[in-house]
């Protein structure tokens, strides 16, 4: 039997009426605010998993967590008279309180773009194209199947409703007690933390992060723009974004293709690929880096970096600095020694240009002696002539104190008193331009 023959005339008339009015109603968008609260306490963990919405977290003086959502929905939405609890369920937001934590979880699959995909209910309107039907009884939940109402009425709904404007959440505001810990994961949405936090574990993908002071921070960012206040200790994995902060005392950074800027720090351990890093003042830096640049306005203690194709520039080196050790190639290096009274330089580098205010002492290296029977182009071993086997390309070496010419492969220089406390600079840089001025 044809299913369409089972639809009563009254039902078809109602469908035609709805077809004429739904288009007018769909042009109007309504805004609503819904709220839920659960008990919590100081020191609890607040875990938030969200997607495609802005999350704002603030503190208040109540021993509970309050979640408020601002949502927009079309007048054609069939459940606009939902209670707040029903709205949370329809939007796929689940709040679960535990003894020492609260989970706030959102489901991106609860309502999909352009489609109302929740379970059909009595009185809901479904349509596909120009066909509108009313389900007046208990409906099945599988699209494309027969929806039954009573003994006589059967209606086929061809899939979920197409073109029906779905409810959308523009912002989720969360109030938490003071002293809580945060565990937040958000995709395709911004995160704003409008309070100081002792511990925060954050994962932001394709969004912005704004936070105040954090004592202990663990951050994963991808295609993220982050702005933070003061951080005591941080472990950061970051890719394809921009990170800015005030002071970071202790930072373990694993990054690529990003920009980092912060003011002051005690220690930075670095694993970096194609990043540009700028620090106003720091005591100590260790690590490795390929491509990109690192710029430090004030180095106070030590710097130890393995690099490749890295530009390294210091604006000022404190007289108290003990060690600068760099192994790099194909980069520009600036190490101004104007503030140093006592320092020692040990430089090794092929085909590098070195600008220096000090005299260079060439370190003579042992020449390789030809083996028996080996010729050098100037004679044999029996000629008793000085023989040198040249490997690689030859280059012209100018005077050791010349400016702008290729420097000796290996030279040293001692300025001031280097027997006591002094700054030691160990620099290996092949095919580099080095400026000590």
**Residue 10 host element (H or E):** helix 9-25
Q: Which residues contact 174 (CB under 8 A, 6 or more apart)?
A: 46, 48, 55, 56, 57, 58, 65, 66, 67, 68, 104
pLDDT of residue 352: 96
What is the C-alpha end-to-end distance of the chain, expressed in Å? 94
**Residue linked to tokens 């379970």:** 119
Q: What is the DSSP letter of 239?
A: E
CB 40 within 8 A of CB 178: no
Q: What is the DSSP letter of 78?
A: T
CB 127 within 8 A of CB 164: yes
CB 215 within 8 A of CB 198: yes
Cα–Cα dist 179/46, whole Å: 11
User: How long, in residues, is the chain?
Assistant: 437
Helical segments of 227-339, H only: none
Cα–Cα dist 184/191, whole Å: 9
How is residue 293 written in tokens? 């640049």
Residue 210 buriedness (CB in 10 A; 0-12 / 13-18 / 19+): middle
Cα–Cα dist 332/429, whole Å: 9
Domain coordinates in residue numbering, the chain: 3-36+72-172, 213-318, 343-437
CB 431 within 8 A of CB 350: yes
CB 91 within 8 A of CB 69: yes
Cα–Cα dist 393/399, whole Å: 19
Q: From residue 27, how far is each of 15, 77, 115, 128 by CA, in Å?
A: 19, 12, 17, 18
pLDDT of residue 166: 62
CB 57 within 8 A of CB 192: yes
pLDDT of the chain along its 437 residues, tens only?
A: 444 444 444 444 444 444 444 444 445 778 889 999 999 988 999 999 999 889 999 999 999 999 999 888 777 777 778 899 988 988 889 999 998 999 999 875 443 333 333 444 544 444 333 333 444 444 444 444 444 443 333 344 444 443 445 677 889 999 999 999 999 999 999 999 999 999 999 999 999 999 999 999 999 999 999 999 999 999 999 999 999 999 999 999 999 999 999 999 999 999 999 999 999 999 999 999 999 999 999 999 999 999 999 999 999 999 999 999 999 999 999 999 999 999 999 999 999 999 999 999 999 876 555 555 444 444 433 333 333 343 343 333 333 444 456 889 999 999 999 999 999 999 999 999 999 99
User: Could you tell me the pTM of the whole model?
Assistant: 0.75
> Can you say how many angstroms the Cα of residue 56 is from the centroid of all Cα atoms in its chain?
18
Q: Which residues contact 307 (CB under 8 A, 6 or more apart)?
A: 288, 289, 290, 326, 327, 328, 329, 331
Beta bridge partners of 55: 172, 191
Cα–Cα dist 311/262, whole Å: 18
Cα–Cα dist 8/25, whole Å: 25
pLDDT of residue 199: 97
Cα–Cα dist 406/97, whole Å: 69
């Amino acid at each position: 039997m044809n299913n369409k023959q089972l639809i009563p005339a009254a039902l078809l008339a109602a469908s035609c009426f709805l077809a004429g009015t739904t288009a007018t109603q769909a042009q109007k968008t309504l805004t609503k605010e819904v709220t839920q609260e659960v008990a919590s306490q100081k020191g609890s963990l607040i875990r938030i998993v969200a997607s495609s919405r802005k999350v704002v977290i603030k503190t208040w003086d109540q021993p509970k967590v309050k979640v408020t959502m601002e949502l927009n929905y079309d007048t054609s939405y069939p459940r606009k008279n939902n209670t707040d609890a029903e709205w949370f369920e329809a939007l796929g937001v689940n709040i679960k309180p535990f003894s020492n934590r609260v989970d706030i979880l959102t489901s991106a699959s609860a309502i999909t773009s352009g489609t109302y995909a929740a379970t059909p209910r009595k009185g809901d309107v479904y349509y596909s194209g120009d066909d509108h039907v009313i389900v007046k009884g208990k409906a099945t939940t599988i699209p494309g199947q027969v929806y039954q109402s009573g003994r006589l009425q059967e209606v086929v709904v061809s899939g979920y409703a197409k073109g029906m404007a779905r409810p959308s959440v523009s912002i989720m505001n969360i109030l938490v007690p003071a002293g809580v810990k945060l565990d937040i994961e958000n995709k395709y949405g911004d995160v704003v933390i409008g309070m100081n936090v002792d511990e925060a574990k954050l994962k932001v993908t394709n969004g912005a992060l704004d936070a105040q002071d954090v004592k202990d921070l663990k951050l994963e960012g991808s295609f993220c723009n982050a702005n933070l206040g003061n951080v005591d200790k941080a472990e950061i994995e970051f890719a394809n974004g921009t990170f800015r902060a005030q002071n970071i005392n202790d930072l373990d950074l694993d990054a690529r293709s990003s920009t980092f800027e912060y003011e002051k720090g005690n220690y930075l351990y670095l694993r970096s690929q194609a990043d540009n890093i700028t620090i106003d003042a720091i005591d100590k830096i260790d690590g490795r880096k390929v491509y990109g640049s690192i710029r430090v306005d004030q180095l106070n203690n030590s710097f130890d970096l393995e690099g490749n194709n890295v530009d390294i520039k210091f604006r000022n080196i404190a007289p108290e600095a003990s060690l600068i050790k760099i192994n790099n190639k194909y980069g520009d290096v600036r190490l101004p020694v104007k503030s140093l009274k006592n320092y020692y330089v040990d430089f090794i580098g092929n085909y590098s240009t070195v600008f220096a205010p000090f005299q260079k002492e060439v370190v003579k290296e042992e020449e390789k002696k030809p083996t028996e029977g080996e010729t050098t182009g100037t004679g044999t071993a029996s000629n008793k002539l000085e023989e040198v086997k040249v490997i690689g390309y030859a280059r012209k070496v100018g005077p050791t104190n010349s400016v702008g010419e290729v420097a000796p492969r290996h030279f040293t220089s001692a300025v001031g008193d280097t027997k006591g406390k002094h700054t030691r600079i160990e620099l290996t840089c092949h095919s580099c331009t080095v400026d000590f001025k």
